[in-house]
Every structure is written in structure tokens, then in C-alpha cells.
Structure 1
Amino acid sequence: MRFRRMRGQPTESLIAAVPRVAYWRLATLPDSLTDSQLMGLVNSFDRTCPTGRRDYAIIRCLVDLGLRASEVASIQLNDLNWREGTLRIAKAKAKRTTLLPLPVETGRAIADYLRFGRPKTDNRALFVRHRAPRDEPVGPSLVRNAVRCAYARCGLAQRWTGTHVLRHSVASRLLREGASLKDIADLLRHRSVNTTTIYVKVDLPKLSTVALPWPGRRT
């Protein structure tokens, strides 16, 4: 069609006849960080200053629990149950309340921020702004910006910019450690296990045990 257009022949009436590029759902592999990249990302925060303590606690929520940026920004102080070691996600994407176990490292990071980093405020949001307008809860954009800055410090900014890859990394790590798809779906708060099946493709050792031999291959 480009050749015909270069020759001066009209092609506008033929545009509707051009088929779209085929796209199959779940055809691609979910992108994720390696264990060493995750460790470098987590260790890139300066935990000697209030902002660094806050952003470190934010990243722990993302890499330990697979929370979305909006869910991290919506956490309230009342959502933390220190006695039972749980975290309530009340404003999840599915608009339902979910109770998650609070990992030790995540709880420790949050406690350190509450004791030594969080400014004195009457706001009940867990993570608040440290700059004007002060006493306001952080928004999802601030959560994403904290992660982008961490990517830059680790030399990963050219490959990743968002937070969703951290959810993929959580799911991939749990699958390698033997967690079931149902467990991963519950943690990531997927409405259907079918959404979680995409992570099966990253478990290459288990897939190799069920792969059929290539026709004509010598054994």
C-alpha cells in the first residue's frame, strides 16, 4: 500500500481491509526483578532521615506484600493491628476489605518510620507528606516517584519506571518458593485465579517436567 501511495494511487478506501496484528491474552511473560536487583532496590534508601525512612517503609509494602501504589497511599493507622500482626487493605482495586499478614521486615520498617520519621500530625494516614502541603497524606504519584528515584539510584531507570513490576516480582518469588496459585491470588487480591495463571510461565523448572518432546528430536 505504501508503494501504491508513492505511485500516486489512492489507498484510503483500502485501509479498512488491512487486518490488525494478532494479539493473544497472556502471550507475554510477566517482567520481574531478580533477587539481587530487589536487594539493591531495597538497600538504596537512606534510612537516617525521615523521608528515607518513609520511602523505605513504602518500598517494603510494595516488595513484601505486592500492594498497588494507590493501596499504599490509602493505608490508615487504624489498618495496622500490631497484636495480631495484620494489615487491612480497605480501599483495594476490587473495592473490598482484605486482611493481610504483616511480614516482620515490613512491620519493622513501618514502626521505625512511626517512631523516628513521621511528623507530628493529626492526620490518620500512615504515610504523610514531609514537605508543603504538610500534614497531608501522600498520593499514589508520590509513591511512584519514590520508586522511580530508587530505580535511578540502582541504575534500573532505563528498564523500569512503575510499581507494577514489583507485584510481578512478588508473585514470581512466591511461585519459586512453592506457593500455590490460590495463595498468590489471595495475596495479590485477584478476583479470579485465571489472572494469576500468567505467572506459571515463569516457573521454567516445573514447565520443563511437563514439556512434550519436540517431534523428530533424538532422545
Structure 2
Amino acid sequence: MLRFLAVKGLVAPELEGTVPRIRRWRHATLPACLSTDEVDRVISCAASGNTRQPLRNTAIVLLLARTGMRAAEVTKLTLNDIDWGNGVIRVRATKSRRDRELPLARDVGRALLAYLKRERPSSPHRAIFLEAAPPWRPFADSSSISKIVRRAMTRANVSSARGAAHLLRHAAATNMLRQGTSFKGIADVLGHQSLQSTAIYAKLDLPALSRIAMPWPGEQA
């Protein structure tokens, strides 16, 4: 405002520098999060609507919801990254700059097998997820994953103002926290380099926060 007034010649230009800036703390706001019921509805709606590859879409949404993987990581998954014998998903280094291994949940494994056996076209590409039309190439970037999730959310009547795929990642992290997983354990699953990035999910565990909240002065008077 002062800068605008200075440009208009209504106040002295040096006046702007005399006003202290309000410090904005990182992670000061609550991350958006879906409820368990909303996540289940999104998963159920992944295969509905006018889609050529319902099994692919279901596998993608389940991966995001159960593992907390980033959309970019799902895009880059290859056939070699699934260790069926040991029940492990190998996530190649992306934002965290290091590989990690995630457990292959039973429902995720079934969804992947259904897609690979019954729907995925024959292709020389090793990427697991391919586009729905010839020449059936791998997704160019994570935006295709986000569109799949956003459409499922729309059909499930779940609001997704932004970051549709990331909302499932937040939900997975919050669910792990409520099940008693440590911050270090959640950070390892999500691929966070800093525990500060993980600690923000503690704000979403409202039942736990209410147990440790101090009573307001005079509340019990």
C-alpha cells in the first residue's frame, strides 16, 4: 500500500522502509487433507466415467492413496520397480535425491496386476503406466496423473481446488500418523529430507492435539 501511495506521490518514498515487515513462518498453515471416507470415494470413482483405462486409473489412485507417492514418482515407475516376490515398490530418486523402498499393499498389488494383465497394451516401453491411446507412450509428466485424480475427485464430489494428487499424499501421511507411525517413519515413506516437512502433519491429527492441549485460563472456573 505504501509503495502504491509513494508511486502516486502521496507519501515520501522512504516511508515504506520505516514499516516493519510481518514475518511469515514456513508451514504456518494447515495442509489440506481428505477424510478416510473421501479417499475411499475417490478410489471408488477412479474407474467410473468416460475413461478408456479404468483399471489403470484405479491402480494410479490406489498407489497415491496407500503409499503417499508423489505424482511424478508414479509417472516414472517402471516394470522393474515392482518386486513381486518381496512385496516391495522401489521408488527412484526424484525430489528427495535418494531411492527408497515402500511396501506393496495387497489391494495396490491386485490393482496393478489387473491393469498389467487385462488392460495395459503391449509396448516396448518399461514405464508401468501408459497413455490411453496409440502409440501408448509413457506419460510426459505428472500432469496426466493429476488430471486422473482430479476427475475421480469430481465424480466423488470431493473438492480439489489445487494439488489433487498431493491431497492423497497428505491423506496417506495423516493416516500413518494416526496409526502411531513416528515422524521419522513417515518421512522415510514420503521421501522427506527434513523432519520439519513431516511435522506439519501433526497439525491434522486433531484428536491427538486435543489430548495434549492445555486448558484455557479460567475455563474450569
Give the TM-score of the pair, scaled to structure 2: 0.87
Question: Is 1:102 the counterpart of 2:104 in the alignment?
Answer: yes
The alpha-carbon distance between structure 1 residues 4 and 45, as it changes in their structure 2 partners (threshold 3 A), is closer
Sort the Cα spacing of 1:103 and 1:82 in 2 relative to 1 into closer, same or farther, 3 A. same
Secondary structure class of the residue paired with 2:89: strand
Equivalent residue, structure 2, for 1:45: 46
> What CA deviation, in whole Å up to 9, does each residue of 1:99-158 have, x standing for no partner?
1110011111110000111011111111111224x2311131111111111122122345
| Sequence identity percentage | 37
Q: Cα 1:47–1:165, aligned 2, differ >3 Å: closer, same or farther? A: closer
Counterpart secondary structure, 1:100: strand
Greater shift, 197-206 or 75-84, is seen at 197-206
How much does 1:61 deviate?
1.0
Q: Does 1:35 align with 2:50?
A: no
Q: Distance in 2 between matches of 1:11 and 1:90?
A: 55
| TM-score, with structure 1 as normaliser | 0.88
How far is 1:170 from its partner? 0.6
Paired residues of 1:62 and 1:166 also in contact (CA < 8 A): yes
1:14-64 Cα distance to aligned partner (Å, 9 max, x none): 333444343122221221101111111000022797511111111111000
Cα offset for 1:202?
Answer: 1.9
2:83 corresponds to: 81
What is the 5 A alignment of 1:136-175? 136-138=137-139, 139-157=141-159, 159-175=161-177
Give CA deviations for 1:60-81 in whole Å, capped at 9, x if unaligned: 1100000101100000100111
Matches of 1:178 and 1:121 in 2, distance apart?
A: 42
The aligned counterpart of 2:67 is 65
How far apart, CA to CA, are the structure 2 residues paired with 1:121 and 1:216?
A: 69
Task: Tell me the SS of whatever aligns to 1:88.
Answer: strand
Q: Which amino acid aligns with 1:110?
A: L
Give the whole-Å Cα distance in 2 for the aligned partners of 1:55 and 1:17: 55
Aligned position for 2:25: 24
Structure 1 spans left out of the alignment, 5+ residues: none
- Relative to structure 1, is the Cα distance of residues 13 and 199 closer, same or farther in structure 2, using a 3 angstrom cutoff? same
Aligned partners of 1:116, 1:29: CA distance in 2, in Å?
A: 41
Question: Does residue 128 of structure 2 align to residue 121 of structure 1?
Answer: no
Equivalent AA in structure 2 for residue 185 of structure 1: A
1:202 paired with 2:204, answer: yes
Q: Which moved more, 1:107-116 or 1:21-30?
A: 21-30
Taking the aligned partners of 1:217 and 1:59, their CA distance within structure 2 comes to 45
RMSD: 2.5
The 1:8–1:190 alpha-carbon spacing in structure 2 relative to 1, beyond 3 Å, is closer
Shift in alpha-carbon separation, 1:137–1:213, aligned structure 2, 3 A? same
Consecutive unaligned residues of structure 2, counting only runs of 5 or more, are: none
Q: Give the letter aligned to residue 105 of structure 2.
A: P
Name the amino acid aligned to 2:38: Q
